[in-house]
Amino acid sequence: MTCEETGVLLSGLLDGRLSDEQAAALNAHLDGCPHCRRELEQLRRLEGIMKGLSLSQLPDQVWDEHWRQVYNRLERNAGYILAGAGATVLLCYALYAACREWLQDAGIPLAVRAGCALLALGMAVLTASTVREKLLTFRHDRYKEIQR
């Protein structure tokens, strides 16, 4: 599990919404990652404050801090998606260019040319799938729908 993947799970852990499997994976990551432990502590503190006060009584400072963190996370996710999309485009183009040259070269055995084409197709599908998964995670971020 990466630090990026712990994001949604951390709040799930606090709400008790994780499966045993998810909780175990998250705890294993937390054991080795001070950064995510600190994030969990911040979430816990914020939740404590939320429980103690009604929403209208929350000091602006708490909200500012909270939304800055949410914004940072969204911004980082957007960066990953853009970089991933760019890498996909470049990779696909490079593979396409290499394959086109090879496919037209009758000196290269058919098996090698077919293998190259399949490899390029596979790589394109894999990268597209990774980017799509990242996009879905981004879209399902639980804070995204909330307007201040």
DSSP letter assigned to residue 53: S
Q: Can you say whether the dihedral through the CA atoms of 2, 28, 35, 147 is positive or negative? A: positive
Neighbours of 145 (CB within 10 A): 8
In whole angstroms, how close is the CB of 39 to Zn ion at the nearest point?
8
Q: How far lies 123's CA from each of 82, 120, 128, in Å?
A: 18, 5, 8
| 131 is an interface residue for Zn ion by CB under 5 A | no
The residue among 29 and 134 lying less far from Zn ion, judged by its C-beta, is 29
In whole angstroms, how close is the CB of 33 to Zn ion at the nearest point?
3
Q: By rule CB under 5 A, what string of x and - marks binding of each residue 23-52 to Zn ion?
A: ----------x-xx----------------
In the complex, the residues that contact Zn ion under the rule CB under 5 A are 3, 33, 35-36
